[in-house]
Amino acid sequence: MQLPFPIAGEPDEFAREAGRKLFAGEKEFLKGVVAMSGLPPDDRIEVCFAGRSNVGKSSLINALTGRKGIARASNTPGRTQEINFFTLADSHYLVDLPGYGYANAPLAVVEKWQKLLKQYLSGRQSLRRAFVLIDARHGVKKVDEEILTLLDKSAVTFQCVLTKADKVKAEEREKVLAQVRGRLSAHPAAFPEIVVTSSEKGDGIETLRAIVATLV
């Protein structure tokens, strides 16, 4: 019996090559945006990386682009406070979103981020897929559910990406996968495949590149 939300398998040769070529192209940090009015024109394929603070969004963008430091990764949660746009070839935007669920920032600041995050996720026409990052040690948390529900309401297809897979043993990972599958099945906008990654070890990076490169 086919499990719901299977783990995305190895890409076929065509998709692997498309991913390799796309991510070998020019890539630059374009700008950090703090208001919807600052968004670049929605004239190309756009994917974003959402998730709780410290889940590994910036590290994943660094691993995908093979450019350590293009997205400032840090072990200081709440570091990324803007919507950061990266150009990839002339055809794609990679978007690093401010994290949510970070308790230590002043309430007014958190509310400002959350408002911008929700406006972006529900109002960006060129957004082809939202990758929602979930820590492979923790599974889906309440704060993630809020974003998943927002993506359902905005009819933005989202795909679950497990991060830091190098930090969990196989049996723990299966437990977390079961929890994640249970939660995703309640969300109509959930893409029916999960990607398991480690930015540290490179697991799943080629698969994710192929997924981005084959989005139309």
Ligand X SMILES: Nc1nc2c(ncn2[C@@H]2O[C@H](COP(=O)(O)OP(=O)(O)O)[C@@H](O)[C@H]2O)c(=O)[nH]1
Instruction: Using CB under 5 A, list all residues that contact Mg ion.
Output: 57-58, 80
Q: 115 contacts which partner out of ligand X, Mg ion, none, CB within 5 to 8 A by kind? A: none
Single out the residue of 8, 47, 50, 55 in contact with ligand X (rule: CB under 6 A): 55
Least separation in angstroms between residue 87's CB and ligand X is 19
Specify the stretch interacting with ligand X by CB under 6 A; choose among 4-12, 27-35, 50-58, 117-125. 50-58
Cβ distance to ligand X smaller for residue 74 or 91: 74
6: left (phi over 0), alpha (psi -120 to 50) or beta: beta
Q: Is 57 in the site for ligand X (CB under 6 A)?
A: yes
Q: Is 56 in the site for ligand X (CB under 6 A)?
A: yes
Site for ligand X in 147-186 (CB under 6 A): 163-164, 166-167
Strand order, beta sheet including 83-88: 27-33, 83-88, 92-96, 45-51, 127-135, 158-163, 195-196
Single out the residue of 11, 46, 48, 51 in contact with ligand X (rule: CB under 6 A): 51
How far, in Å, CA of 13 to CA of 92, rounded?
Answer: 21
Provide the binding-site residues for ligand X, judged by CB under 6 A.
51, 53-59, 73-75, 77, 80, 99, 163-164, 166-167, 198-200
